[in-house]
């Protein structure tokens, strides 16, 4: 085979086209991950030249001596469960509503989707002001309604702060689930729905026995993406409470950042990151295997 004919082969061209992207990916994604893994076994403050090898000491510290790690772990778990249930349910409801032939359907879809394109840090700033206990929107509304006693320190009370942030998160992310479900609804065969109606099925039965099964691939994608996104939750919490009050809204991603970039203990920060990575892989790997199976089944 001549050199020219080798270049013309689809396999070679494929490799050539992929190489630059692979190089960039290796440099900016794979190598940092490996470096974080190595750092998690070292003690480094970011300014000294030497990184001391400490074995599993960082892991021992975060698991047994760190008063915040398990708070962050619990919060990440609560956040993930809520993220997997509430935004997808609301998104499905909105998608079903906006799939009907309504007046102003297109503008309404755009309005519900709009928060998705706003930067999370901007959403955090906006909601932080709305939650201000003295001058915020909610405090003023409750005062106007004569319900001042209902007002709480939305972001300062450790019992409600995490859920207050979650409301802002739902406001921003429900549009994302909605768009995926809307796309999924377009694939539901209308002839099946018509046939079910002819057979005497009511709306609830049509939804349960026709629409929902057809949406199963979309539901899986929404749930997996919601789980991954919730495990990575960082910017909206950083912007609204910074993990406070008293670290009660810490999450694993934010605690890894705080350890590394505010306390400057890169070893412990990396150990938290590795734990988070393992949790994420536990979700992503089954998802990838499932999607590969779907692809091969389709072929």
Partner 1 sequence: MKATTLLKGSAAALLLCGTSLSAEELTIWTINYTSDRQVSALTAAEAEFEALMPGVDVEIVMRGTDEHKTALRVAAGSDTGPDIYAYWAGLGLGGEYVQAGLSTDLSPYYESYGWSDRLTAPSQAFSESFAEGKHGIPFRFSGEAVYYNKELFAKAGIESEPQTYEELKEAAVALKAAGIPAFTFGGTVNWHVMRLMDVILETTCGVDKHDALMAMELDWATEPCALEAFTEMKWWTDDHFLKPFMGIDNRQSTTLWFANRAAMMLEGDWHVPTIDENADMENFGLFPFPTGTGRLYGFAEYMYVSTKSDQADLAAKFLDMFTSDEFQTAHLGAFGALSVNKNVKQGDDALALHREWLEVFAQAEGTFVNGDQAFPLDVTTEYFRVINELASGDLEPQAAADAMAGFISNH
By CB under 8 A, tell whether 241 contacts partner 1: yes
Is the CB of residue 181 less than 8 Å from the CB of residue 221? no
* Residue whose C-alpha is closest to residue 136's, from 152, 120, 114, 160: 152
By CB under 8 A, tell whether 158 contacts partner 1: yes
By CB under 8 A, tell whether 57 contacts partner 1: no
What are the phi and psi torsion angles at 53 (to 5°)?
-75, 120
Work out which of 22, 263, 282, 285 binds partner 1, going by CB under 8 A. 263
Residue with smaller CB distance to partner 1, 93 or 245: 245
Dihedral, 145, 149, 150, 156 alpha carbons, nearest 10? 130
Residue with smaller CB distance to partner 1, 75 or 258: 258
By CB under 8 A, tell whether 156 contacts partner 1: yes
By CB under 8 A, tell whether 3 contacts partner 1: no
By CB under 8 A, tell whether 56 contacts partner 1: no
Gap between the Cα atoms of 226 and 10, Å rounded: 37
Gap between the Cα atoms of 127 and 288, Å rounded: 35
Is the CB of residue 178 less than 8 Å from the CB of residue 99? no
By CB under 8 A, tell whether 5 contacts partner 1: no
Residues 6+ apart with CB under 8 A from 114: 175
Residue with smaller CB distance to partner 1, 135 or 191: 135
For the CB of residue 214, give the shortest distance to partner 1 in the complex, in Å: 45
Residue with smaller CB distance to partner 1, 183 or 263: 263
By CB under 8 A, tell whether 245 contacts partner 1: yes
Give whole-number Cα distances, 272 to 47, 83, 105, 238, 281, in Å: 20, 21, 45, 17, 14
Extract the tokens encoding 173: 């992310």
Residue with smaller CB distance to partner 1, 67 or 107: 67
By CB under 8 A, tell whether 247 contacts partner 1: yes
Residue with smaller CB distance to partner 1, 32 or 286: 32
Binding mask 82-121 for partner 1 (x = CB under 8 A): ----------------------------------------
Binding mask 29-48 for partner 1 (x = CB under 8 A): ----------------xxxx
Residue with smaller CB distance to partner 1, 81 or 141: 141
- DSSP assignment of 25-90: HIIIIIHHHHHHHHHTTEE--SSSS--EE-TTHHHHIIIII-TTHHHHHHHHHHHHHHHHHHHHHH
Gap between the Cα atoms of 141 and 126, Å rounded: 16
Residue with smaller CB distance to partner 1, 134 or 297: 134
Q: Is the dihedral of CA 188, 190, 195, 200 positive or negative?
A: positive
Residues between 126 and 155 that touch partner 1 (CB under 8 A): 131-134, 152-155
Which residues lie near partner 1 (CB under 8 A)? 45-48, 61, 65, 67-68, 131-134, 152-158, 161, 241-242, 244-247, 258, 261-265
């Amino acid at each position: 085979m001549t050199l020219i004919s080798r270049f013309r082969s689809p396999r070679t061209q494929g490799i050539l086209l992929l190489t630059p992207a692979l190089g960039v990916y290796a440099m900016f994604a794979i190598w940092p991950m490996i470096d974080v893994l190595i750092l998690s076994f070292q003690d480094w403050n970011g300014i000294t030249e030497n990184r001391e090898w400490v074995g599993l000491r960082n892991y021992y510290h975060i698991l047994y001596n760190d008063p915040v790690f398990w708070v962050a772990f619990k919060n990440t778990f609560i956040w993930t469960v809520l993220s997997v249930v509430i935004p997808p349910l609301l998104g499905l409801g909105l998608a079903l509503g906006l799939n009907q032939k309504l007046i102003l359907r297109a503008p309404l879809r755009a309005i519900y989707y709009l928060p998705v394109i706003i930067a999370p840090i901007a959403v955090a700033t906006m909601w932080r002001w709305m939650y201000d206990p003295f001058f915020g929107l909610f405090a003023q509304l409750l005062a106007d309604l004569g319900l001042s006693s209902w007002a709480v320190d939305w972001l300062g009370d450790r019992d409600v702060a995490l859920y207050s942030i979650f409301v802002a998160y739902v406001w921003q992310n429900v549009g994302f689930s909605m768009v995926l479900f809307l796309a999924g609804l377009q694939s539901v065969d209308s002839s099946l729905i018509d046939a079910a109606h002819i057979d005497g099925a009511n709306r609830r039965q049509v939804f349960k026995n026709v629409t929902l099964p057809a949406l199963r691939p979309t539901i899986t994608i929404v749930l997996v993406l919601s789980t991954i996104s919730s495990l990575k939750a960082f910017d909206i919490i950083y912007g609204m409470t910074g993990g406070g009050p008293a670290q009660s809204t810490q999450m694993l991603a934010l605690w890894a950042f705080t350890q590394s970039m505010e306390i400057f203990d890169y070893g412990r920060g990396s150990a938290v990151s590795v734990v988070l990575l393992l949790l994420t892989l536990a979700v992503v790997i089954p998802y990838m295997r499932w999607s590969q199976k779907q692809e091969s089944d389709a072929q």
